[in-house]
Every structure is written in structure tokens, then in C-alpha cells.
Structure 1
Amino acid sequence: MATLWTGGKIYTMAQVGETVEAVLVEDGKIVATGSVESLSPLAASIQHLQGHVMYPGFVDSHLHIIGYGEKLKHIDVSTITSKEALLKKLQERMSKATAQEWVIAIGLNENQFDEPILPTLAELDALGEAYLIIKRSCHHLILANSKALAFAGITNDTPSPEGGVIDKVDGQLTGVLKDAALYLIVNHMPHITPAYIEDALAKAVASLQTYGLVGGHSEDLSYYGPPSQPILAYRKIVEAQQSFKVHLLQHHTVFEEVAKMDLASSPFLEFGAMKIFIDGAFGGRTAALRQPYSDDPNNAGMLIHTTEQLTTYVQLARQYGQTVAVHTIGDLAIATILDVFAAYPPQDGQFDRVIHCSLVDDELLARLATLPVAVDMQPQFVQGEYQAELSRLGEARAQGLHPLKSLLDRGLIVAGGSDAPIEVPNPLQGIYAAVTRRNIGESHEGYNPQEKISRFEAVHLYTVGAAEIIGQSHKRGKIAAGYAADFTVLQEDLFTVDIEQLPHIQVACTVVDGKMVYENRCEG
């Protein structure tokens, strides 16, 4: 039984400004687009858009869906602007917790404080008897109280693991763990049960749908017990409901285990590239740089793996005919992995995926353009911590921060995501950031304004780009015959609305395979 969607502006995203009057949908696919007059005789029902505006379904190309669900479950401290306020909020929760509970706070950003100073281990220990973990907004640094450190067997004598840092001052633990070191705790917390994972996943999907998202590319398989646990949760929550489309990257530590499971993919749950973290983040000064940090001249960050290790991982992916997706923040990290990609390219027609690609120069941009790689960008990264990154990198290097236009101008495939729970997974906020390069409410020309892109290019990141980066541009990302009937319907036209109103546009409804999975004011 075919349904005709009409009664509002419908952007196809096939080219700038292209619209159609109506879309005919049957069995989850777009059968045809065209005029109401030509298509209505073929429809058994009409879905009226009530004057709202339809786009191809928005997809977040890089986030951690279960991790975002955890943020919804735990204490969100992302808006706290002082150490005192942070300690007070934690004290309120710790005072109600039993000695065996785990209290988890997510989203700490000390750069928002008047003095960017983290709490001391003594201050954390004074809050109560429960286990306490505070995840920094970048998720490459945590604070843990002494009880949580002891749970993982971390003492003053424990050496930092490969690819991580157990922070110490004068040989004494500070409670700060960076990159691989934080997994000594967070991957083994006893409350990570199947029920916990399923609850976090269900909360995340429900929230993502309210932002107009029809799907997301996620990386969750190495943080929640054996990979079979999160996979089973995805089967039960996502695949069973058929209301959200997930493309899963596979962390290199579990890649072969997952590959040997010989798992079947579906439109709602796909298994994609091997994921490798090449370096850390600017926040903890662990992003790997070619030259030292401007505000820490004895530190140039760190590569999590040697070139030899990276070569082994990439070769393993190739043995299974798979591509590789890499977390790269610093310029040294990008240069290092591009060397490996050049030596061991993927199969013809495939391309590897560079995630974040946060610091480039002309040489790196040229190298990216010559290799079979696509780039997975998070436009919101240019907002919150730009000033802190400027102090870490200096004015000259900071000109290469968070490129967008430079990548598109060189013909690279670029997709857009949020890296939630690091950023809010609202694609409209990402589109605004890509177009303005500034925080909501600011009025300057933008951070590195030469990297601003058009509204069409920004929407392209979350539609066509998100499909291209997983090799599905022939069936997702546009409104055209033969494509999936995935739609994001907004109450206003993001191509014509005043730019400052763009991130505040309301979602009318979210449609997956022709089925309305979230409805605000879009009435049939």
C-alpha cells in the first residue's frame, strides 16, 4: 500500500535548491517523486506535511550511542562553570549513595571554569564512600577517587600502560587517568550488565529520534564486556524495533573476535570498519603533535600505537576485506596513519575513514586528497574549546584547526557527526557550527572563518556525506526513486530561516523506512 507524502517543501539534496512536490513511498522505499497530480492515483493514502519541510533523513556519522545513553542515565556536569559547583553537585549525589555504588559524572570541561583547575584526589575522596568517576568532555581523561583507583589495583607504584597515562605528582596519584589508562577502570565497572546496556541504548535511540536523526555510525563494542553483550543489546533494541539505523565500527581489540562471529547485517544493524585510536585529545594534551604544545613545551602528546602496531592492525583488517576508521586529532597522528594507509591501501572502490582530522596543514590536506580516504568531521568541535586549543597550539598552527571547506575544496568525501556524548547530537547545531564557525549567540566572523561552508554543504554532511562514507550513496542520503524512505521533517526551512534561528528549529517528525518513529506536531 503506497503512501504519498506531500503538503510541504521537499528538498531532495540531489543538487542545490532542488525540491519536489510529492514523494511516493511503499514498503520502506521511495517509489517515485514528482507532482501530486501524477502520483496521487498510485497512492492508497496521503501523509500531509502540514506545511513543514522534508529532507533526507539526517544521520550522525560518528557517535557512541550506548555512551550517549549513559550520559542520559548519569550526572551531566557539562554546564558547570566552577570547581566549587562541581564538587557541590557531586556531594549531593555522593551523600545519597551507598558504599558499593558507582557514582558517574559525564561532561566535565574545566576550561569553562574561571580557573581551569581539576579537583584534587583529596577533594574527591572527601565527597563520600561510594566509587566515583568523572569523565571529561573529551572522554580521553577521567578523574577517579581512591576507592575507584583501588578497584582497578592502581597504586602509586603502578606504571602507566602503553598508550595511556596514570598521572602522578611527586610519585603520588592525582586521580587523573588519560587515554588507555582510564580503561583500567571504566571497562570493568561491575554495573555494566546486559540490562544496563539495553537501558542506555533504548534511552539513547529515543533521544536521537527527537533530534530528527534516522541513524548513526557508532563505536561501542569494546567497552561493555565481551562484544557479544552490546551486539545482543543492539539486536534486541534497534534491530527488533526497526526504528533507527546503526552502522557499527569495530574496535581493533575486538575486531577479529567479531569478524569470526560471522554476523549478518541488516538495514538496521550493519558492521563496518575496524576502529583504531591513533592519539588522544587536545584537552588532556595527549593529541600527537609534530611540534610541542605551545603551553607545555616539553610535551608533544603521544601516539597510542607504534607504526609497526598500526601496520599489523591495518593488515588484519585487509585480511578480512575491511576498511579502517581512525581517531586522529593531532597532525602527527594524521601523518603517521596516512603513511600506513599509503603502504597498505584498501580494495579498489573502498576507502578508509579519518575521524576528527582536527589539525592539518597544506601538506596533510594534499596527502589526504591523494589517498582513498574519507573524512568524518564534527563541526561542533570548533565551538566549545577553540580558545583553549588556541592557547595549546598557538595562532599559526590553530589556522589548521577543524577544517571543513579545505577538505571539500579538495574533493574529499566528508560526513558530519557529533561524537556524542562529547557534543549534543543535534544535527542542526552541527549545521549551524559548520556555517558560522562560532558558538550559538556569538556575533563574530567565526573561528577560522575561511573554513565556513554553505548551508547546502552543511546539510550534505548529514545526508549524502553520511551515506557516501559507508558506501551507500546509491540508496541513502537523498530523496529519489529507489532510496530508503528515511526523512527528517522540520517545522521551518533551514535553508531560508535567519541563521541565528537555525539551531532552534523544531523537529516535526522523524521517519524511518516510511514509518513515523518520532512525532512532534506533524499530523497525518
Structure 2
Amino acid sequence: MATLWTGGKIYTMAQVGETVEAVLEEDGKIVATGSVESLSPLAASIQHLQGSVMYPGFVDSHLHIIGYGEKLKHIDVSKVTSKDMLLEKLQERMSHASAQEWVIAIGLNENQFDEPIFPTLAELDALGEAHLVIKRSCHHLILANSKALAFAGITSATPSPEGGVIDKVDGQLTGVLKDAALYLIVNHMPHITPAYIEDALAKAIASLQSYGLVGGHSEDLSYYGPPSQPIQAYRKIVEAQQSFKVHLLQHHTVFEEVVKMDLLSSPYLEFGAMKIFIDGAFGGRTAALRQPYCDDPSNAGMLIHSTEQLTKYVQLARHYGQTVAVHAIGDLAIETILAIFAANPPQEGQLDRVIHCSLVDDDILSKLADLPVAVDMQPQFVQGEYQAELSRLGTKRAQGLHPLKSLLDRGLIVAGGSDAPIEVPNPLVGIYAAVTRRNVGETHYGYNSQEKVSRFEAVRLYTVGAAEIIGQQNTRGKIAAGYAADFTILQEDLFHVEIEHLPQIQVACTVVDGKIVYENRCKG
């Protein structure tokens, strides 16, 4: 039973400005595109767009879906603008929590404070008897009270683990844990049960669909107990409902375990590249740099793994015929992994993935262009902490901060994501950031304005680019015959609205394989 979608503008994303009058869909696939006159005799029903605007389904190419669901479940402190406000917000929850409970806050950004300082361990301990964990917005740093530190067996005598930092002042704990050190707590919190994971996942999927997203590339398999737990949650919440398409990266610590499960993929749940963290983030000054931080001359960040260990991980992925996706933010981190990729290339036709790729120069851009590598970048990163990053990196080096146009100009495949829960997973906000390189409401010409792209190029990041980066460019990312009937339908035309209004456009409905999975205004 074929359905004709018509009654609004339909952008194919095959080329700039290309539209069609109607789309014929059957059994979740696009059968044909063309005029209403030619296609309506083939349709058993009509889905009228009521003047809305249809695009290929938007996909977030990098986020942590269960982690985003956790943010929806816990205390969101992303809007907190002072230490006192943070402590007050935490006190509200801590005063009602038992000594056995875990209180979790997510999204802290001290750069929004007049004085960018963290609470002391004593101040955290004074809030109450429950375990307390505060995750910084970058998720590469947490604050933990003494109760949470003791749970993990962390004392002033505990050495920092490889690839992480247990922060101390005069030999005493501060409560700050960076990168690998934070996993001593967050990967072992006892409230992470199958029911907890499923609830977080269900909340996340519903929210993502409301933003017009039909799918996402996520990395969740090493944070929630054995990988079988999050996989089972995805089977139960995502695959069974067939209303969202998830591409799962596999953290290197569980990669071989997951591979040996011999799991079957489906259109709604598939297993992709090995995921490796190469370095940290600018916020905690743990992104690995070739030269020290301008505001911390004794520190150039850190590589989480040695070159030898990274090579072994890449070779393990190659042994199983798999690609590698790397979190690499600093220029040293990017340079290091590109050299390893060059010495250990993937199979013909495969693409490795550099996630974030946040600090480049011409030499790094040339090396990227010479390799079978795609870039998975987050346009919103240029909004959040650019001024703080400028002070850390200096004006000259920051010219290579958060590239986009220069990547596309080199012919690289680039996909767009949010890294939620770090940023809000609204693709319209990402599109706005890619086009303007500024925060909503600002009037300047853009941070590193030479990296701005057109609206078409920005939308392409979330459609064609998101498909290309996983080798599905012939079945997803466009509105064309033979492609999946995944649509994002908006109430206004994002190519023509006033730019400051673009992030406020409302989603009419979200469609996966021809089925409306989120509906605001779109009626049959």
C-alpha cells in the first residue's frame, strides 16, 4: 500500500535548492519522486504536509544517547552562572537525599561564572550525606564529594591512573577527577541497573524524535555495566519499536567482547567502529597540544594512550575488519592518530573517523585529506566556550579552532552532531552554529568566520554527511527512489527564514521508514 507525501515543499538534498512536488513511499522505502499528477494513480493514500517543509531525516552523527537520557533524569546545571547558585541548586536535592542515594548533576560550566572556580571538597561535603557527582559540560571532568570518592576507594594516597588525573593540592584531594580517573566512580555507581538504563534510553529517544531526528550515532557500551546491559536496552527500546535508527560505536575496552557476541545488526540497531579516546578536552586542559596552554605554560594536556598502545588498538580493529573512530581534540592528538592510521590503513572503501578534530593547521588538514578519513564534528562547539578556549590557546593557534569550511574545501566527508549531553541535540541549533559561528542573539560576524558554511552545506552535515560517514550514502540522507523513507518535516523553510529565527523553527513531525514517530501538527 503506497502512500503519497505531498502538499508542501520537499527538499531532496541531492543538490542546492532541488525540490520535488511529491514522494511515493511503500514499505518504508521511497519508490519514486515527481509530480502529483504522475504519482497519485500509484498511491493508495495521501499524507498531506499542510504546507510544511520536508527534508531527508536528520541524523545526529555523534552523541551519547543513554548519557543524554541521564541528563534528562538528573539535575541539569548547564544554566548555572555562579558557584553559589550551583551549591544552592545542589542543596535542594541533597537535603532530601538519604545517605545511600547518589545525587548526579550534569552540565557544569565554570566559565559562565564571574569567577571561574569550582566548589571545594569541603563545600561539597557540607551539602549532605548522599554520594554527590557533578559532571562538567565536557564530561572529561567531574567533581565528587568525599562519600563518592570513598566509594571508589580514592584517598590522598591514590595515584592517578594512566590517562587520568586525581587532582590534589598539597597532597590533599580536591574532589576533581579528570578523564580516565573519573571512570573509577562513574562506571561503577550501583544505581545503574537495567531498569535505569532503559528509562534513560526511552526518555532520550522521545526527546530526540521531538527535535526531528530519525537516528543517531552513539557510544554507550562501556559505561553501564557489562556491554550486554546497554545492548539489551537498545534491543528492547529501539529495535522493538522500530522508530529510531542507532549506529553504535564500540569502546576499545569492550570492542573484542562485543565482536565475539556475533550480534546481528538491523536498520534500527547496528554496530560500527571501534571508539578510542586519544585525549581529553580544552575545558580541563587535558586536550593534547603540541605546545603548552597559554594560561598554563607547564601543561600541554595529555595523550590518554601511548603511541604503541594506540597502534595495538588500531591493529585489533583491523584484525576484525573494522574501522576506528577516535575522539581527538588537540593538535597533537590529531597528528598522533593520523600517523597511526597512515601506517595501518583500513580495508579498501572503508573510512576511519576523527571525532571533534578541534584544532588544526594546514599541515593537519593536508594529512586528513590524504587519508581515508571522515570528520565527525559538532558545530555548536564554536558557541559554548570559544572565549575560554581563546585564552587557553592564544589568538594565532585559535585560528585553527573548530574547523568546518576548511574541511569541506579539502574534499573531506564531514558529518554533524551535538555530542549530547554536552550540547543540546537540536540539529537546527547545530545548523545555525555552522552558518553563523556565533551564539543566538549575538551580532558579530562569527568566531573564526572564515569557517562559516552555507545553509545547504550545514543541512548536508545532518543528512548526506551522516550517511556518508557510515557508508550508507546510497540508501539514506537524500529523498530519492530507493532511499529509506526517513523524513524531518518542519513548519517553516530553514533555507529561507530569517537566520536568527532558524533555531526556533518547530518540528511538524518526524518520520522513520514512512511511519510518523513524532507528531506536532502534521495530520493525515
Normalising by structure 2, report the TM-score.
Answer: 1.00
Q: Which amino acid aligns with 2:13?
A: M
**1:17-36 → structure 2 map (5 Å cutoff):** 17-36=17-36
Aligned equivalents of 1:454, 1:522: Cα separation in 2? 28
- Aligned partners of 1:83 and 1:2: how far apart in 2? 58
- Counterpart of 1:453 in 2: which secondary structure? coil
Listed as ranges, the matches of 1:104-503 within 5 Å are 104-503=104-503
The aligned amino acid for 2:63 is: L
Could you tell me how far apart the structure 2 residues matched to 1:60 and 1:432 are? 15
Residue 53 of structure 1: aligned partner = 53
Q: Distance in 2 between matches of 1:126 and 1:176?
A: 16
CA distance in 1, matches of 2:503, 2:359: 26
Distance 2:384 2:21 in 1: 39
Distance 1:158 1:491 in 2: 55
Runs of 4+ displaced beyond 4 Å:
none
How many angstroms apart in 2 are the aligned matches of 1:175 and 1:129? 15
- Between the aligned partners of 1:402 and 1:19, the Cα distance in structure 2 is 32
Q: Distance in 2 between matches of 1:160 and 1:377?
A: 30
Rounded to whole Å, the distance in 1 between the matches of 2:230 and 2:210 is: 23
The code of the aligned residue for 1:429 comes to V
CA offsets per residue over residues 251-306 of structure 1, 9 Å max, x none?
00000000000000000000000000000000000000000000000000000000
Aligned residue type for 1:41: P
Q: Could you tell me which runs of 5 or more consecutive residues in structure 1 were left unpaired when the two chains were aligned.
A: none
Give the Cα separation in 2 of the matches to 1:52 and 1:523: 11
Task: For residue 345 of structure 1, give the secondary structure of its aligned residue in structure 2.
Answer: coil
Matched residue SS, 2:240: helix
Query: How many angstroms apart in 1 are the aligned matches of 2:236 and 2:351?
Result: 31
SS at match of 2:84: helix
SS in 2 for 1:522: coil
**Distance in 2 between residues matched to 1:17 and 1:452, nearest whole Å:** 19
Question: Within 1, Cα distance between the matches of 2:290 and 2:385?
Answer: 21
Q: Give the unaligned 5+ runs of structure 2.
A: none
Match of 2:521 in 1: 521
CA distance in 2, matches of 1:118, 1:98: 24
Q: Give the 3-state SS of the residue equivalent to 1:395 in structure 2.
A: coil
What SS does the aligned partner of 1:258 have?
Answer: helix
> One-letter code of the match for 2:130?
A
Q: State the shift of 1:31 in Å.
A: 0.3
Cα distance in 2 for partners of 1:418, 1:222 equals: 20
Distance 2:119 2:514 in 1: 50
Aligned to 1:507: 507
Deviation of 1:181 (Å): 0.1
* Counterpart-to-counterpart distance in 2, 1:311 and 1:422: 29
Which amino acid in the other structure matches residue 215 of structure 1? G
1:277 maps to amino acid:
F
Cα shift at 1:348? 0.3
**1:17-63 CA distance string (max 9 Å, x none):** 00000000000000000000000000000000000000000000000
Counterpart for residue 63 of structure 1:
63
Counterparts of 1:166 and 1:129, CA distance in 2: 22
Cα deviation 1:122-177 (Å, max 9, x = unaligned): 00000000000000000000000000000000000000000000000000000000
State the one-letter code of the partner of 1:38: S
The residue number in structure 2 matching 1:76 is 76
Q: Secondary structure at the match of 1:309?
A: helix
Q: RMSD between aligned alpha carbons?
A: 0.2
- Matched position secondary structure for 1:327: strand
Instruction: Name the amino acid aligned to 1:358.
Output: S
Tell me how far apart the structure 2 counterparts of residues 120 and 394 of structure 1 sit (CA, whole Å): 29
Superposition deviation, residue 491 in structure 1 = 0.3
Whole-Å separation in 1 of the counterparts to 2:488 and 2:15: 17
SS of corresponding position for 2:267: coil
Distance 1:369 1:464 in 2: 19
Letter in 1 for 2:448: N
Q: Which amino acid aligns with 1:284?
A: G
Aligned twin of 2:11: 11
SS in 2 for 1:216: strand
Matched AA of 2:497: V
Tell me the CA shift for residue 322 of structure 1. 0.1
Give distance in 2, aligned partners of 1:311 and 1:133.
34
Q: Kindly state the Cα deviation for residue 523 of structure 1 after the two structures are TM-superposed.
A: 1.1
Distance 2:126 2:7 in 1: 60
Q: Distance in 1 between matches of 2:305 and 2:447?
A: 31
Return the alpha-carbon distance in structure 1 between the equivalents of residues 309 and 510 of structure 2.
43
How many angstroms does 1:384 deviate by?
A: 1.0
Q: Secondary structure, in 3 states, of the residue corresponding to 2:396? A: helix
Using structure 1 for the length normalisation, give the TM-score. 1.00
